[in-house]
A and B are shown apart, each in its own frame.
Chain A
Amino acid sequence: MATIDQPRSETAGKQYKVLGTRPIRHDGADKVTGRAIYTNDMQLTGMLHGRILRSPHAHARIKSIDTSAAEALPGVLAVCTGADFPDVKDKIAELGEGAVNLAHLSANVMAHDKVLYKGHAVAAVAAKSPHIAEEALKLIRVEYEVLPHVLWVLDAMKDDAPLLHDNVYTEELGGKQSDKPSNIAKHLHFEQGNVEEGFAQADIVIEREFKTATVHQGYIEPHVSVALWNQDNRLTIWTATQGSFTARQQTAEVLQIPVSNVTVVPCEIGGGFGGKISIYLEPVAAILSRKSGRPVKIVMSRAEVFEGTGPTPATFIRVKLGATRDGKLVAAQAYLAYEAGGFPGGVIGPGCMCVFSCYDIPNAVVDGYDVCVNKPKTQAYRAPGATQAAFACETVIDEIAEKLGIDPIEFRLKNAAKEGTRRVDGPVYPRVGFIETLEAARNSDHYQSELTGPYRGRGVASGFWFNVGLKSAASASVNPDGTVTLVEGSTDIGGTRTTVAMQLAETLGIAAEDVIPRVEDTDGVGYTDVTGGSRVTYATGLAAYHCGLDIIAQMKERAAILWDCEPDQVEFADGTFTGPGQSATFKELARRLLETGGGIVGRASVDGGGATNGFGTHIVDVEVDPETGKVTILRYTAVQDAGKAVHPSYVEGQMQGGAVQGIGWALNEEYYYDADGRMRNASMLDYRMPTAYDLPNIETIIVEVPNPKHPYGVRGVGETPIVPPPAAIANAIYRAVGVRMRELPMQPHKVWKAINSQE
């Protein structure tokens, strides 16, 4: 086994029956037998197939669209364009993990007057077969006035850059606005202490510049939506989404219909990583359904996914750090320019918050810019904005440690953020487990082992991500056989049906297998925010816990009826109710509910608040082929604080999956554009995500420093593990061949070039 559990002292005292075990996942049989229902499995009577016409240009004004020939094609039942979308005013909608301007959302879903990137949707067709729909797209005539485009953040910030929006102004701190429209939609500024004085105290100051590439979440399931707009104006949408309620809200607002008219049925989801929070197909399928009177399904191709849905941004980052001779960081400064894509509202905010979030630095300044470029609107991608920032910061940290002759883990330990550390954007940390992850990394078999051989090197990097709390609801009914049916609204991407069910089981003192979890649609469960922000096991788990407490309280009343005593005379512990001279297990009592007043339904709706923070440290050994620049990963270990690993296999899975995605960013993944602003590698062959052949076994070490805000100490674990890999690998390459890589991805030709220009 790759996994070494190292429970820390804090949890050692707490004994759990269910938490920390590895039951078979509740949805396992459906998934391995191919019976799980994904959106593309939906087949409704009379269903039409929709296809979307997309812009061939990176930037153009739409002069006219003529759909008459497409409409006349036999088998075509509806055509829609931006003109079919209601005019929505600028309004900000909160989506849990980020906010969106509805006018921009609407124009992103279907271009209204301008196309802002190649692949931007301009029209859609619904026909009796996908084949006819495809033919119909070719009959749509779009007249474009092609405009100059801009593809790189620093170019887009120049005064004479092509302007994407004439109504976007730079928003400064305190609500001030630039007087001219600009591609720079926002300037963020955070500060603490006094950086000038800080740098003056430093014995060593290092300032470096970094570039990262546009990368895609790369979920295996392309976007798919099915919509049925019924005669009574009720709209049902089956879709692949991370958040059924946010999909409902966005769709309703873009279409300007009441949320209560929309039911979103979240089907099984084949990955999201932040990319399935924004809507794309839902309102298009809905409009086509309204126009045709039939259900409409739209499935994206892989190229459409790359070109038309949210990647995460390319960035330019400058980081300056100062430290004293004995290795104490005294000052830090960062400049971060993040591409937003075609519309404002990228991931610059968390980028700024995360750049120095691992360290206790008294004096720091961070400036961030949200910049429009002619690429797809960027979206969240696993710890959105943090991986880019960590690549920059953690590489400079490594360089300082090296120059000072201090072991990179020791250097981090000297400066590690801990309880009471104030992050540059304000918050003060509660109890966090960063120091413990560093210690576990230092003591690991991997770090203690010797790495020998030419062109080999070991790198270390750390990473941070928030756990957003947000809102979750759950209800549960007790069955006469003592099992409990749990209804939740969190779409299950990482095994959360099981981790949430396990928390209910722990609370009720029953087995994980005795809870039957179900993810319900927006009419079947209370409001629940997105599956994102590393929140579900934390916040929906919290809802399940409270739901369990509600059930116990109600069961005590039933026991009191049976035992002819007061409810407060009934105690509950270890799955057993005890009253005066009587006792019954949960199962025994469950059997008697119908004779004591009927079934029991527990319910809870919680706001998880700002949850807490997750830290991780990764160690990687690489070998570089000096003649080709190709990097081979020899060994990889991820260490992370999980608070409490509810189901350790899923924690390991998250750590491994995140590390693998980060390795992809590090080595090969990028959007490769030609001079006309067209992505040239919009396929899985040429986009080059890592395959199983490119990866070693990812070893994992789970550290458990309980989250003080959760009854079981749970911290979110999903996102942090993507943050350290690029920096860890860059640091390892340096130790292997002596070159500092400051641009992602670090493809063979770049590493070769760096080695070559060094000699």
Chain B
Amino acid sequence: MSAATSAYVFLPRIRRVPSPPTPQLAAEIAALKDFEYAAAATVEEAVSLLAARGDSARVLAGGTDILVQLREGLRSVDLLVDIKKIPELTVLEYSPETGLKLGAATPCYRIYGDERLRTAYAALCDATRIIGGWQVQSRASVGGNLCNSSPAADSIPALIVHSATCQIAGPSGVRELPVEEFCTGPGRNALERGEFLVSLTFPPPLPRSGSHYLRHIPRNEMDIAVAGAGAWLALDESGRIAAARVALSAVAPTPKFAAEASEYLVGKAPTEEVFREAGELAKKVASPITDMRGPAEYRIHLAGVLVRRALTKAAERAQSGY
């Protein structure tokens, strides 16, 4: 397949739609502006397509954010570069010795559906299980969740507490970045022109470790986090906390690593008191806005409650070997 002909398909108007379109489909595509679609076959090809178009090109992974945004006119692009067909982008490689390598376009269902990851990366499984319903989870990727860079993205606190590292490909090769440094503002991130996320790597699980991610939403499904918290901790042989990581979502312009709360936990016993205090410390990184999802003071309060609850469950899991 040559990139110029088959992988790079020019789409004039709505011609990609089966003809004649069903009335429903015709109505649905009504709001979509013309754009071109290219399915890259290799990382290099994707980089060159993106580099050539700059801001007017976007990556397409599961499309559960980007297609909705295009249809609602929140974003407009001239070119979508589909990365799902690049083999590296959908890998899921795990071993207890080396940890996890996750292709950026791997859909959520493959993550929480993988028995090996259930205990090793429990917070990530928790997060991927609540992103949308199963239809969305069949397409939506963690890479897309991260690169969409919503302050409320559910998987990002989990990625942060699991100490994930981003592998970013660009015109000058591949670079790495700790995931907590990836998001720079609502909808903004560290990717430069021509760059895209190829994979995420996770260190191997520690013994006696456990993690959890939870969020508060007014409904029980189909909702955007008012606040979310991820927690990971590892216990030493005496049952004290040897290491811990706490992160928050939806309470600041980006998901946040709560460094002070995480450090405070080290050396402490995993008690309700300690977790409550960690929750109080975590609130310091919260600087939410008041919007339709809830008032700022409430979101700060929730941050404390959710961190305590996340830590409690993470500790339970660490102790029980879940």
Contact = CB atoms under 8 A, between A and B. Distances in A.
B218 A43 contact: no
A464 interface: no
A691 B14 contact: no
A667 B218 CA distance: 8
A234 interface: no
B31 A134 contact: yes
A690 interface: yes
Interface stretch (A364-372, A479-487, A679-687): A679-687
B11 interface: no
Given A672-B292, A680-B291, A753-B298, A130 B29 contact: yes
B272 to A, nearest CB: 13
B85 interface: no
A717 B223 CA distance: 32
Contacts of A43: 23
A667 B291 CA distance: 17
User: Which 9 residue pairs are nearest across A and B when measured between Cβ atoms?
Assistant: A130-B30, A693-B220, A672-B292, A749-B298, A693-B221, A299-B27, A749-B294, A627-B305, A681-B292
Contact of B219 (A133, A627, A681, A691): A691
Contact of A628 (B14, B219, B223, B305): B305
Nearest to B301: A752
A51 interface: yes
A576 interface: no
B218 A630 contact: yes
Contacts of B30: 49, 51, 129-131, 133-134, 299
A41 B26 contact: no
B13 to A, nearest CB: 6
B294 A688 contact: no
Nearest to A132: B13
Given A49-B30, A134-B30, A628-B305, A668 B218 contact: yes
Interface string B266-305: 0000000000000000000000000110110010011001
A613 interface: no
Contacts of B298: 748-749, 752-753
B235 to A, nearest CB: 26
Interface in A297-341: 297, 299, 301, 303
A301 B30 CA distance: 10
Nearest to A135: B33
Given A41-B23, A130-B30, 16 more contacts: A40-B24, A42-B23, A131-B14, A131-B29, A297-B23, A627-B305, A667-B218, A685-B222, A685-B224, A688-B218, A688-B219, A691-B221, A693-B219, A749-B295, A749-B298, A752-B298
Given A40-B24, A752-B298, A752-B301, A747 B218 contact: yes
B29 A630 contact: no
B248 to A, nearest CB: 15
Contacts of B218: 630, 667-668, 688, 747-748
B216 A129 contact: no
B292 A628 contact: no
A694 interface: yes
Interface residues of B, number: 28
Contacts of B29: 130-131
26 contacts: A40-B24, A51-B30, A129-B26, A130-B29, A131-B13, A131-B29, A131-B30, A134-B31, A299-B27, A299-B30, A303-B72, A680-B292, A685-B223, A685-B224, A688-B218, A691-B220, A693-B219, A693-B221, A694-B219, A694-B220, A747-B218, A749-B295, A749-B298, A752-B298, A752-B301, A753-B298
A341 B197 CA distance: 48
Contacts of A693: 219-221
B321 to A, nearest CB: 28
Nearest to A756: B301
Contacts of B219: 668, 688, 690-691, 693-694
A136 to B, nearest CB: 12
Given A131-B14, A686-B292, A752-B301, A40 B223 contact: no
Contacts of B24: 40
Contacts of A749: 226, 294-295, 298
Interface in B205-258: 216, 218-224, 226
A672 B294 CA distance: 11
A657 B226 CA distance: 28
Contacts of B216: 628, 630, 748
Contacts of B295: 749
A688 B298 CA distance: 19
Nearest to B294: A749
A628 B214 CA distance: 13
Given A627-B305, A680-B291, A688-B218, A129 B14 contact: yes
B168 to A, nearest CB: 30
B294 to A, nearest CB: 5
Contacts of A748: 216, 218, 226, 294, 298
A41 B31 CA distance: 19
Max count, chain B CB within 10 A of own CB: residue among A134, A303, A749: A749
Contacts of A42: 23
A686 B225 CA distance: 11
B27 A40 contact: yes
B183 to A, nearest CB: 21
A748 B226 CA distance: 10
A299 B226 CA distance: 33
B96 to A, nearest CB: 35
Contacts of B72: 303
Nearest to B30: A130
A299 B25 CA distance: 12
Contacts of A680: 291-292
Interface string B10-46: 0001100000000110110111100000000000000
A129 B15 CA distance: 12
Interface in A108-149: 129-131, 133-134
Nearest to A631: B218
Max count, chain B CB within 10 A of own CB: residue among A130, A303, A690: A130
Nearest to B31: A134
Interface string A677-705: 00011000110101101100000000000
